[in-house]
Chain A
Amino acid sequence: MTEATVMPLKPAPSRRSGPRRLDRPRLKLASLFLLAPAGILLPALFILPVCYAIYLGFTNLQLVGLHSVHYRFTGWANIAFMLSDASFYQSLWVTALFVVGSGAVGSTLLGLVLAIALQQAMPALRMAVSGLAILAWTLPPTTIALVWIASASPSGPIAAMMADMKADPLYDHALLIVSAANAWSLAGLAMIMFSAALRNVPKDMIEAGTLEGASSVQRMMRITLPFLKPTIVTSALLMTLLTFGNFTLIYLMTAGGPDNATNILPVYSYLEGFKFFNLGYSALLGNIIVIFSALLGSVFVFLGQSRR
């Protein structure tokens, strides 16, 4: 840089002055041809629909009625409506509670505790419990929803544990119950991640701590957990992403109710579009979801790279 400012008139060295560099990227025409299918399909099937969905967020499109065919661009109208929509703010708050409480904290913590508890367990017990946890993760959302609706209904096991057979936990503590169901279904995945990470904690590091006289709690808090920190971050983010998109479970269990208590953004967007026919507004809510997901995804990718 400094050289260039001192001698601005000196011409750049000619390309032909030396032998040609062989390590530059070269373009082959055949590669364009081979890339063409992806080059056509990716914009056609992904980028265009996404752009179209973003555009729809700024229209007055409706599912039925006059504006279902003759819709038009309405500019900031949808955004202005959203900013004055109390249900939107309620939904944002519920989403945050659900995603952080159930996803980032709940399922990660559950998976971590399971993995640590099973680390020293008898092999048979470990196989059985981890098998069940993984089964919970692989179950289809409908099954998970049914299991938890049954458990949380009046006179179900949860009501029995509350020693009040008339209680209706799913109605009284809807967000708590769907959060528990979500954490329960994701814990198996978190547990697999933590089991693998725990196996990588060097044994002699723990032994060194033992020889120093550290108690098992001290070894856990001061050696094992710091060692697991990257996995905890990864798991928390992954669980956040998976929870954020968990439309099915909540829709099947509560459909956003009662009184919007579990109305997370994806559910709200669906309801606006397909129950209240406001497809344009629904698309705008979808855009908000995409922005949040993209932000979370970027954090995930960034953290994954910076650790290397």
Chain B
Amino acid sequence: MTTIRFEKVSKSFGDYNAVQDLNLEIKDGEFMVFVGPSGCGKTTTLRMLAGLETPTYGRIYLDNDDVTLAAPGKRDVAMVFQSYALYPHMTVRKNLAFGPEVRGEPKAAIAKRVEQVSELVGLQSLLHRRPSELSGGQRQRVALGRAMIREPRIFLLDEPLSNLDAALRTHMRTEISELQRKLGVTTVYVTHDQVEAMTMGHRIAVFSHGRILQVDTPARLYGAPANKSVATFIGSPKMNILPARLAPGAGHVTVNCLGTVFTLPSLSLTSALPPEMIELGIRPDDIHWTKDAPSRCTEKMSGTVISLETTGSETFVIVDIQGVEVNSRFPSFVQIKIGDQVDLLFDRSDVHLFDATSGDSLRDVSSIVEMSALSHVK
């Protein structure tokens, strides 16, 4: 139905560049998530797409229509606001019917559509209530229903779950994903929560300081982050970033990280002449306790336990290795305490190498994905 295309879009507020030179294509029917810390430009980008902000430079296309300067009401987009933005003086029914009414659609058609949509989002029994008489989750549903009643070209959702409690958030996550799948409308979803992004998005655009760092599927973002910022933003707990040294050899490179030395085939690197000082990234999930490690893990590091964090199903153990803190995942049954000496094992194919200055990934992304990524995504 509708594809979205950003072409060299920038937005400045005074001297502040909120979005810089953004190029992005969103496919028809895709669930695209914009994720990033606050102030990274993701909401501004969404508002430009809605028409609530005018880009300073660049073009925005829906299909092949240039909508850069089109009025918000003429774009046929529907948006769910973080605050829901329900009209407090109207009942749920009136809230749902407001859009079709101001657009002058026939009354009978509106009534029918209200019934349909309220059934779809489970609001039939609440149509006569006002927003102040609804719970957070119900308000959320009204906001969703109001967006759906239009049958818009695209859905825009701006942090719609951030005002809900944790349990409801998880529930609504699935509900929104399912609605989107049922309706098949191209959707852009903004969030600062990487778990939301990973679980909901077909593709994710990671924003930072007004730029897109990487646009990819959740699996590839996790398994093959294009740079250090993406690597540390995606995944919980955060990826360990450790100092390392690289020495080139014949057909391979030797990596020395905190006393652990291993080799990698040169072919798996993006550059033939990598820098000597690099940063090595490895997720806590990929560092194993010696007695619990898969046989493919051959590289060993040792250190002292300095802190424990139990989640129930597993224990995250922070180990001091030559003065560097390394977070690692232990099975929950392990009896260890602070001050213990532990050995950690990892598989060299699980490591990510980053340029120490630019933060760009040095490993050939395609090779990593084949090896590890798909098996890790939950």
On A, residues with C-beta under 8 Å from B are: 202, 204-205, 207-215, 218, 222-223, 226-227, 229
> Do A204 and B102 touch across chains, with their CB atoms under 8 A apart?
no
> Do A209 and B81 touch across chains, with their CB atoms under 8 A apart?
no
Per-residue contact bits, chain B 76-88, to A (CB 8 Å; 1 contact, 0 not): 0111011101111
> Do B99 and A213 touch across chains, with their CB atoms under 8 A apart?
yes
The 10 closest A-B pairs by CB, nearest first: A213-B73, A212-B99, A208-B85, A204-B85, A214-B102, A226-B89, A204-B81, A205-B85, A210-B72, A213-B103
Majority secondary structure of chain A interface residues (helix, strand, loop or mixed) = helix
On B, residues with C-beta under 8 Å from A are: 50-52, 71-74, 77-79, 81-83, 85-90, 98-99, 102-103, 146, 150
Question: How distant is the Cα of A205 from the Cα of B52 in the complex, in angstroms?
Answer: 12
Question: Which one, A202, A210, A214, A229, contacts B52 given CB within 8 A?
Answer: A210
Q: Which residues of A lie under 8 Å from residue B81 when comparing CB positions?
A: 204, 207-208
Residue of B nearest to A203 (CB): B85
Q: Which residues of B lie under 8 Å from residue A204 when comparing CB positions?
A: 81-83, 85
Residue of A nearest to B47 (CB): A207
Q: Which residues of B lie under 8 Å from residue A212 when comparing CB positions?
A: 73, 98-99, 102-103, 150
Question: How distant is the Cα of A151 from the Cα of B99 in the complex, in angstroms?
Answer: 48
> Do A213 and B74 touch across chains, with their CB atoms under 8 A apart?
yes
> Do A227 and B102 touch across chains, with their CB atoms under 8 A apart?
no
> Do A202 and B85 touch across chains, with their CB atoms under 8 A apart?
yes
> Do B85 and A207 touch across chains, with their CB atoms under 8 A apart?
yes
Majority secondary structure of chain B interface residues (helix, strand, loop or mixed) = loop
Question: Which one, A205, A211, A229, contacts B50 given CB within 8 A?
Answer: A211
> Do A211 and B79 touch across chains, with their CB atoms under 8 A apart?
yes
Q: Which residues of A lie under 8 Å from residue B51 when comparing CB positions?
A: 211
Question: How distant is the Cα of A277 from the Cα of B222 in the complex, in angstroms?
Answer: 95
Question: Which one, B72, B87, B102, contacts A205 given CB within 8 A?
Answer: B87
Question: How distant is the Cα of A133 from the Cα of B347 in the complex, in angstroms?
Answer: 76
Smallest beta-carbon distance B311→chain A, Å: 36
A204-B83, A214-B73 known; A209-B89 Cβ under 8 A:
no
Q: Which has the most chain B C-beta neighbours within 10 Å: A213, A227, A229?
A: A213
Question: How distant is the Cα of A116 from the Cα of B267 in the complex, in angstroms?
Answer: 67
Q: Which residues of A lie under 8 Å from residue B72 when comparing CB positions?
A: 207, 210-211
Residue of B nearest to A213 (CB): B73
> Do B103 and A211 touch across chains, with their CB atoms under 8 A apart?
no
Residue of A nearest to B83 (CB): A204
Smallest beta-carbon distance A173→chain B, Å: 39
Question: How distant is the Cα of A213 from the Cα of B101 in the complex, in angstroms?
Answer: 10
Question: How distant is the Cα of A226 from the Cα of B98 in the complex, in angstroms?
Answer: 14
Q: Which has the most chain B C-beta neighbours within 10 Å: A207, A208, A218, A222?
A: A208
Q: Which residues of A lie under 8 Å from residue B73 when comparing CB positions?
A: 210-214
